């Protein structure tokens, strides 16, 4: 039996720095170890074999669902394992698979309501052959550990743990890119770390810091770093959600506010020793129940009863609606907006788009990092960035374009500090634009009196029915964007 893993890490040297790359390698090794006569082949994005070429009846298609989507051919035996980016799933995508594996019980419950395909829970995991504990005694382990380490790229967003450290004036050591934009360059030790060096860092750090994208928290998918860190016996400070607490209890230190962040790290020597002992004990559970070999056994058991998929994808539009996860909901203006109008302008400069309350989400496919697209909303939800009432993200994350979508009425009625938004860098575009614009204009007229506003009526999704109308609208919007982007 041959298993073809579709790995979302990009083909080439750049992909070797992605977590998905190492995730796929460890999974492939475990599948071949646990499965008799199993051969595993990995394909990296975008050089995934076309569905029409996946013809062998013996092949099992296993897609690691991260940033990119894949639609297997009808009749193939295929598995989708959702380990990240859950807010971008579509029912169309789900319907093309024989089996859907998801990284949380909550997400499983959500998907079973919108798809007839079988959905099973399969959490993320670690490779104990790489990520394992120290051979030191407990007392030696306590003495050998030092530093509070945070391994994370900004991805254009001031992440929770970095914000917590800054607000509590806690000195940390950062490994990652982009932190100079947030005034943390002095705490950056390096831009990256080789995956082979991570276990030793985890075995020698006093504390590690971890956080999740908002959509991972909303759908309660525990990220891979928690399994890796605990497998090495590292005391970890992390954000929280119910399934994480259910699975790991008090072997993690939870911090969802600056006060909780400071409290988690404020341990006297005796308290630290006791907590480290507790984390070291958790290593046994990780090795026995949360290794790639354990996950490989579950996947192979599922394969035995796998049936060919029967559905065929009919559209390339991929987005998510909050009320009905994965349900398409008419035209996708943000997708068309990016593909038709922003992309031709991308040579001008880096374009950062913040999409508020995404009713539809775009699937950005572009070479390089010219377009930085993030979704956002107040608090935790099916988006990537959490906003606060002060909209302070705009101070930390200057955006080229602000796309306002279907903003709930209760949000409109909240006291939001619109003065934080750099209006001269923003354009509006979306179904709730006029309502938002009227509200802002009443409160801060001096900010918005000169702003070019692109609205859904301009774009004419529901009014323009002929080609000439489309051409006029596209020309109008492109002209406005050129004025903004320069």
Integer CA distances (angstroms), 263 to 258, 260, 394, in order: 9, 5, 28
Q: Could you tell me the pTM of the whole model?
A: 0.77
Integer CA distances (angstroms), 386 to 143, 184, 247, in order: 37, 20, 24
CATH 3.40.50.2000 correct for 138-284 = yes
* pLDDT for the residue 413: 63
Domain with CATH 3.40.50.2000 in the chain: 2-124+292-304, 138-284
81 DSSP β-pair partners: 64, 101
Q: Rounded to an integer, what distance in angstroms lies between the CA atom of residue 486 and that of residue 474?
A: 17
Residues in the chain: 486
* pLDDT for the residue 365: 47
Which residue ranges of the chain lie beneath pLDDT 50? 52, 313-330, 348, 364-369, 424-425, 427-434, 441, 444-471, 473-474
CA angle 352, 354, 355 (to 5 degrees): 140
Q: Rounded to an integer, what distance in angstroms lies between the CA atom of residue 150 and that of residue 206?
A: 11
* pLDDT for the residue 315: 31
pLDDT in tens, 405-435: 666 666 666 656 655 665 544 544 443 444 5
Q: 126: how many CB neighbours lie within 10 A of its CB? A: 27
CATH code at 2-124+292-304 = 3.40.50.2000
pLDDT in tens, 91-149: 888 999 999 999 999 999 989 988 899 999 999 999 999 999 999 999 999 999 999 99
Two tokens at 276? Answer: 């480290």
Residue 233 CA, distance from chain mean position: 25
Q: Rounded to an integer, what distance in angstroms lies between the CA atom of residue 460 and that of residue 473?
A: 7
Q: Rounded to an integer, what distance in angstroms lies between the CA atom of residue 456 and that of residue 458?
A: 5
């Amino acid at each position: 039996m041959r298993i073809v893993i579709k790995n979302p890490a990009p083909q080439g040297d750049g992909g070797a720095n992605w977590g998905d790359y190492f995730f796929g390698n460890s999974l492939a090794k475990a599948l071949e170890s646990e499965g008799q006569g199993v051969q595993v082949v990995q394909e990296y994005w975008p050089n995934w074999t076309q569905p029409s070429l996946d013809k062998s009846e013996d092949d099992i298609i296993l897609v690691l669902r991260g940033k990119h989507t894949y639609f297997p051919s009808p009749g193939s035996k295929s598995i989708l394992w959702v380990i990240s980016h859950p807010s971008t799933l579509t029912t169309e995508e789900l319907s093309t698979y024989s089996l859907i594996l998801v990284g949380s019980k909550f997400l499983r419950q959500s998907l079973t309501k919108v798809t007839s395909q079988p959905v099973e829970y399969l959490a993320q995991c670690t490779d104990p052959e790489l990520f394992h504990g120290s051979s030191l005694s407990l007392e030696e382990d306590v003495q050998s550990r030092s530093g509070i380490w945070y391994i994370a790229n900004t991805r254009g967003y001031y992440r929770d743990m970095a914000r917590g450290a800054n607000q509590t004036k806690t000195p940390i050591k950062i490994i990652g890119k982009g932190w100079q934009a947030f005034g943390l360059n002095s705490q950056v030790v390096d831009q990256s770390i080789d995956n082979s060096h991570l276990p030793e860092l985890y075995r020698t750090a006093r504390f590690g810091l971890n956080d999740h994208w908002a959509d991972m928290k909303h759908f309660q998918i525990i990220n891979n770093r928690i399994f890796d860190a605990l497998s090495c016996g590292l005391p970890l400070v992390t954000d929280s959600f119910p399934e994480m607490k259910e699975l790991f209890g008090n072997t993690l230190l939870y911090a969802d506010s600056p006060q909780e962040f400071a409290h988690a790290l404020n341990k006297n020597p005796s308290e630290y020793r006791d907590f480290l002992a507790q984390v070291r004990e958790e290593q046994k559970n990780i090795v026995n129940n949360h290794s790639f070999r354990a996950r490989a056994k579950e996947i192979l058991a599922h394969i035995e009863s796998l049936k060919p998929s029967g559905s065929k994808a009919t559209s390339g539009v991929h987005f998510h609606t909050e009320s009905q996860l994965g349900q398409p909901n008419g035209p996708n203006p943000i997708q068309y907006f990016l593909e038709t109008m922003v992309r031709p302008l991308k040579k001008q400069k880096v374009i950062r788009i913040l999409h508020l309350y995404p009713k539809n989400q775009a699937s950005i496919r572009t070479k390089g990092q010219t377009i930085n697209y993030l979704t956002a909303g107040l608090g935790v939800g099916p988006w990537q960035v959490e906003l606060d009432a002060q909209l302070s993200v705009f101070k930390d994350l200057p955006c080229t374009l602000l796309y306002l979508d279907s903003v709930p009425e209760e949000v409109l009625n909240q006291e939001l500090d619109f003065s934080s938004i750099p209006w001269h860098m923003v354009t509006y575009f979306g179904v709730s634009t006029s309502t938002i614009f009227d509200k802002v204009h009443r409160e801060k007229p001096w900010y918005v009196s000169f702003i070019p506003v692109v609205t859904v009526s301009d774009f004419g999704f529901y009014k323009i029915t002929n080609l000439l109308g489309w051409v006029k609208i596209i020309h109008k919007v492109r002209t406005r964007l050129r004025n903004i982007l320069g």
